[in-house]
Amino acid sequence: MLRFIVLLSAALGSTVLAAAAQPAKNYQLVTPKDIDIVATGINERGDIVGFEAIEDWKNPDVIEEVPFYARGKDIAHLPLLEGYTATSPAGVSDDGLVVGYVSKPNSPLRRRTGSNQAFVWDVRAGIRGIGMPEGDLTSFASGISRDGLRISGYAVGPNRKRACIWERDGEAWKATVLPESAQLRSTHVPISGDGRFIAAVEADSPCLWTRDASGRWTREVIGNVGSMVPRAVNDAGTVVGTRYTPDGLSHAVVWSKSRGLRPLAKPQGYVKSEALAVNNRDVIVGTVDGPAGGKLGPNAFVYDKGPLRILDEWGPNFASATVINDRGQIGGVLERKEDEEPAHPPRKKAQ
């Protein structure tokens, strides 16, 4: 399973979300396969991007994570950008524009310009790099607005790591660094579907950037040092993420303008949780897990204005819910159990 973990070390207040129990809502699992899938992005028509685990035909002990774009059960594997050796998709717009980053081997003693680069891909034009802000060496795209016009991510330069955006300029993309961003601490910079909010950890504190009607971005701190690593933000500016504690545990948290920062209560027996996505109905999804070495978890969960609920209707392989859209379609991690044999599906490579 892919893990996006940043170790932070501060405490959060003890307020816990509480609400009366409500009937379970109906959600739809969106996946091209029942196992060996990790979804990293979803759009409003239910297309997903992510990674498919495929066993190497020549070496059965090697499992390759192959990037894909899927519409329903139709899955296409994403290509490499010329000169690069890996493609990592992170998000997809409503019109099918996929974003993420490409990478290639780099010297441990010297970082080369372009060893990692943000990319866009679509069926019409294929894959292409979108560069980085002036003076930076590498770039990574984390998400894209629904209309496909604004991309969020970060760039790394000499002694700095900065949150940035790319905005469409004809067929090109213009990179801009977000204000008050030079000490970025997170490796994921989510953007809201409408493109007005971006969240990340800056100088060890969770922050939210907001774009006003004039196009100006302003930053506000939304929690204490170490209180949250943002994973997603919706059109109301509600941010969900995870608090990591020195004991090695993780705790799902949510921040909103009206209620501030607060944790999501875990089901009985679970000791770890991560909030990974939120839609515009404030439905939150993520993963919960039990104590190390135990048989409890990991399991996908949903929180919808009631007690956090395990998403067990799709079986034990559904370990984590990583994405959700406003239609209630959910994607995530469908992992193979130890006693299940891997398949050898044919690959359909995108251009």
Is the Cα torsion angle 190, 193, 195, 197 positive or negative in sign?
negative
For the beta sheet containing 239-244, the strands, ordered from the edge strand earlier in sequence to the opposite edge, are 229-233, 239-244, 250-256, 260-263
Task: Domain ranges for the chain, please list them.
Answer: 28-334
The model's confidence at residue 294, banded by pLDDT at 50, 70 and 90, is: confident
Are 202 and 219 within 8 A, CB to CB?
Answer: yes
User: DSSP state, 194?
Assistant: T
The model's confidence at residue 111, banded by pLDDT at 50, 70 and 90, is: low
Predicted confidence (pLDDT) per residue in 25-61, tens digit: 689 999 999 999 999 999 999 999 999 999 877 776 7
Q: Which of 208, 251, 230, 190 is nearest to 42 (CA)?
A: 190
In this prediction, residues 308-334 reach a mean pLDDT of 96
Are 74 and 100 within 8 A, CB to CB?
Answer: no
**Cα atoms in the Cβ-side hemisphere of radius 13 Å centred on 3:** 8
pLDDT tops 70 at residue 313: yes
What pLDDT was estimated at residue 350? 60
For the chain, percent of residues with pLDDT exceeding 90: 79
Higher pLDDT, 24 or 268: 268
Q: Across the chain, what does the average pLDDT equal?
A: 89
What pLDDT was estimated at residue 116? 96
Are 50 and 2 within 8 A, CB to CB?
Answer: no
22 Cβ neighbours under 8 A, 6+ residues apart: 304, 305, 306
Tell which CATH architecture fits domain 28-334.
6 Propeller (2.120)
Q: What is the pTM of this model?
A: 0.89
Predicted confidence (pLDDT) per residue in 200-256, tens digit: 999 999 999 999 999 999 999 999 999 999 999 999 999 999 999 999 999 999 999
* Distance, CA of 340 to CA of 343 (rounded, Å): 9
